[in-house]
Amino acid sequence: GDSVTQMEGPVTLSEEAFLTINCTYTATGYPSLFWYVQYPGEGLQLLLKATKADDKGSNKGFEATYRKETTSFHLEKGSVQVSDSAVYFCALIRNVLTGGGNKLTFGTGTQLKVEL
Amino acid sequence: GAVVSQHPSRVICKSGTSVKIECRSLDFQATTMFWYRQFPKQSLMLMATSNEGSKATYEQGVEKDKFLINHASLTLSTLTVTSAHPEDSSFYICSARDLTDEGYEQYFGPGTRLTVT
């Protein structure tokens, strides 16, 4: 079945440091890939997504590129802020454009802590 | 973006009682909603898929008689935890699916923290 593997956290960085959170996936066909962010005590928010190979999703300074050859979707940010402290989830879904029972498969989440 | 609300945000109940959690899509109609359960420091586990006007589809291992789901309208789905026990204590998150120009997109509620004493 489909699966998503993320690096274990917590990841602790100083403000303005470079961030990489690794994500690899296993899925049949051509899934769409997502990064969600969960701030403390809140639900998930979509951070960015990519729907086909070589697409780059970006939002709020975060980027991730859909790499089919390595089945990866690593999340990066050039300069993190304290306000980026949260849990980040990588996820995939197949056949998103047709909907109909397709389900998100989530990774286990990676906690990011950014310190001054 | 689209907004999904949940109520209540926190609830404490005694063992053996039932608790109802509401999930509403505030500015769009959702024919499909999802209920997830999240354990501390773990990922989201899909419990069931709720389709408006029909019975929910439960994931393997989820007791349908314990976790009652009703999706009576295009903007409201409810999850009722019946005869709750301490092991049901968890963070429950709902999600509603909307059809956008780019295809289906899921929006998540803020979650409900259930504590069973």
Most B CBs within 10 Å, among A104, A105, A112, to test the B interface: A104
As a whole number of Å, the end-to-end CA separation of chain B is 37
Nearest to B49 among A101, A107, A108 (CB): A101
- C-alpha radius of gyration, chain A, whole number: 14
What is the per-residue pLDDT for B1?
67
Q: What is the DSSP code string of A5-72?
A: EE--S-EEEETT--EEE-EEEE-SS--EEEEEEE-TTS-EEEEEEE-STT-EEEETTEEEE-BTTTTB
The yes-or-no verdict on residue A101 having pLDDT over 70 is: no
Is the CB of residue A93 less than 8 Å from the CB of residue A25? no
What is the per-residue pLDDT for A8?
85
Report CA torsion sign: A52, A56, A59, A62: positive
pLDDT in tens, B73-106: 999 999 999 999 999 999 999 999 887 776 778 8
Is the CB of residue B21 less than 8 Å from the CB of residue B111? no
What is the per-residue pLDDT for B51?
87
Distance from the A116 Cα atom to the nearest Cα atom in chain B, whole angstroms: 24
Cα–Cα distance, B58 to B50 (Å, whole number): 9
The yes-or-no verdict on residue A102 having pLDDT over 50 is: yes
What is the per-residue pLDDT for A98?
47
Would you list which residues of chain B are within 8 Å, Cβ to Cβ, of chain A?
A: 1, 4, 6, 32, 34, 41-44, 46, 49, 57, 93, 95, 97, 99, 102-111
pLDDT in tens, A36-93: 999 987 888 999 999 889 999 999 999 999 999 999 999 999 999 999 999 999 999 8
Q: Could you tell me which residue, A65 or A2, shows the higher pLDDT? A: A65
* Chain A neighbors of B97, CB-CB under 8 A: 99
The residues of chain B scoring below 50 in pLDDT are none
Cα–Cα distance, A58 to A43 (Å, whole number): 20
